[in-house]
């Protein structure tokens, strides 16, 4: 399982992926918002989204777990 973690402290603005969804390298999982800027969280390892640990409106800190991806 690959862990996707927040790179900055931000608010979760939008959750794009769903649990069970197959994602490819470059797909967006969620969009974070910090200081009026949208920051997409991009998939770097293709696979299946097994768990999402965030929801819109939630605050995340640097290093917080966003999702688990089961690698193909």
Segment 6-13 mean pLDDT:
96
Q: Note the pLDDT of residue 29.
A: 96
CATH number at residue 59: 2.40.50.100
Where in the sequence is the domain holding 8, given as residue range(s)? 2-71
Q: Note the pLDDT of residue 17.
A: 96
How many structural domains does the chain have?
1
CA neighbor of 26 nearest in space, from 13, 43, 14: 43
pTM, two decimals, is 0.88
pLDDT digit string (tens) for 13-69? 999 999 999 999 999 999 999 999 999 999 999 999 999 999 999 999 999 999 999
Q: Note the pLDDT of residue 51.
A: 96
């Amino acid at each position: 399982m690959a862990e996707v973690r927040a790179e900055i402290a931000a608010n979760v603005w939008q959750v794009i992926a769903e649990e069970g969804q197959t994602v490819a390298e470059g797909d967006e999982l969620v969009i974070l918002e910090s200081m009026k800027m949208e920051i997409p969280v991009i998939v770097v390892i293709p696979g299946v989204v097994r768990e999402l640990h965030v929801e819109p409106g939630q605050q995340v800190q640097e290093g917080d777990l966003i999702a688990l991806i089961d690698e193909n």
